[in-house]
Each structure stands twice: as structure tokens, then as C-alpha cells.
Amino acid sequence: MTITLNQQLLDLSTPRVMAIMNLTPDSFYDGGQLKNHEQLLAKVQQFIDEGASIIDLGGYSTRPGAVNISVEEEMSRVVPVVQLIREHFKNIPLSVDTFRSQVARSALEQGASMVNDVSGATADDLMLDLISEYQVPYVGMHMRGTPQTMITLTDYQDIVFEIRYFFSTLAEKAAKRNINDLIIDPGLGFAKTIAQNFHLLYHLDAFKLLDLPVLIGLSRKSMIYKTLNTTPENALNGSSALHMAALERGAHLLRVHDVKEAQECIKLYTQLRDAAS
């Protein structure tokens, strides 16, 4: 498994870490923490030092019930940060976490090199055409409804089959547009109950049939801290435990708040995997 990122091949045979950089005031774990340029750049340097392969910038909170902000406000949060990081860090690949093609286009114009779309191209009909135009990797996530409505849309007959079918359809749309680097994300926490999240994670290897890289985003989510009767702030150990489970079931990318600990999971996983050969 490889993707082309910043005009270079990124080999996913060893799993990689995508670092989360929230530029929102209301994200469930670390919203509002980065208050100035110095803190932003220091965080980027930390992510790089700890081994992140990609930094994912998000200006729209997608936690359940989050406020729906305008395109203009989302752009004002994201685009200047892309510019700032590019002025100081030329090589680290930047992903923009957005379901709006207008925001994605502006970020790509300023030096982002990947798009992470929680709607899986269902929220904006122009998104896949934009990806085809720029020929950048695209993460398509499964979600029903919107962050404002998704908690009411958890009725599935066969959740693994239905989500795999969603991705096969997305792959067909991408192929018609000559999109080369499609990455799929089953969307843990998005229009799924806690039990459904664990069911999906347990059956993650069912998505190997699609022959596409798989991204998993479970870092500090409610499936962990509610199960453990704790808080997002105290959910690092649980995140690491489930990251190992995801790796064992075929995850190629881990989208995380805590890069160092995720890299440790990957190092231990690859050592264990290679011991079998």
C-alpha cells in the first residue's frame, strides 16, 4: 500500500500516524488550546519530532451536536494556519479536515496536500471533482447525516456490509474521476452507537476486500472514555489499547492526538508482526 503525498510515495506497509491539530474552540478533547502562532508552530514541531507522517488541520468541530459554522469562518480558521506552517515547515504533509470543497480548495492552494472528508463526499457534490483536479490523497469517511443529526441515525441491518457497500460505491466514483489515492475511514463515533463502534473495530479486517488503505480515528473518543467511565483527558491508555487492536486488524493510518504513544504502538505491532515470519 502506497499513496503519493507531496510528490513522494508514502509506504503504508508500515502503518503511519496522522496527527490531529484542532483549530476549533469546541472540539471534544483539545478545542481552543492553540491560541497563538508560537503555540501552533511548537505543536507542529512536537508532532514532527514524535514521528507524525501527516498533520490534519480542522476548523469545523464534528463532535455530536457541534455548532454549524459558516464556510467563511471555517476558512478563516484553517487557511492562515496552512500558510503559517508552510512558511516554517516546507516538507511535512498537511491534510485539511473539511467536507466543504471551497475550504479544501483554499487550503490546497496554500500548500495542503491531502483532504480528509468526514462526509465521504456526500455533503458537497464538488468535492471529488476537486480531488481529481488536484490529484491529492482523499480520505473518505462514513457518516450518516451531519454532526448535528448523526446521533439519531444509528439504525443498521448489517453495519459492516452497509459501510463496505458505501465505500465500494465511493471507490467507483473516485475511479471514474481518475482519483488514484483513496483512503477509507469507517467513521467510529459518527452515526454509530458505542456497541456498533466496537463491532466495526472488531470486524475491521472485513474492509480488506476493498484493497484500499484504511484510516482509523478513535483517539480519546467516547467509545473509550464512556466504556471506562472516565474522561477524554484520561483516555490515553484506552486509546493505545484500541490502536493496537486496529493495527492487528489492518489499519494503515492512525489519526491521533498523541503521536508518541501511537508510534510506540506501531513499533511494538510491527515487531510482533515481523516475529511471525
Q: Which residues belong to the active site?
A: 221, 255
Q: How far apart are CA 182 and CA 277, in angstroms?
A: 29
Q: Would you state the cell numbers that stand for residue 172, as one nine-digit string?
A: 467507483
**C-alpha cell of 115?**
483532504
Measure CA 76 to chain center: 21
User: What does DSSP assign to residue 9?
Assistant: E
Grid cell, residue 208, equals 480488506
User: Under a CB-based contact definition with an 8 Å cutoff, are residues 239 and 258 in contact?
Assistant: yes
Do 99 and 117 meet the contact criterion of CB atoms below 8 Å apart? yes
Q: Which of 271, 266, 268, 236 is nearest to 254 (CA)?
A: 266
- Cβ contact 168:214 at 8 Å: no
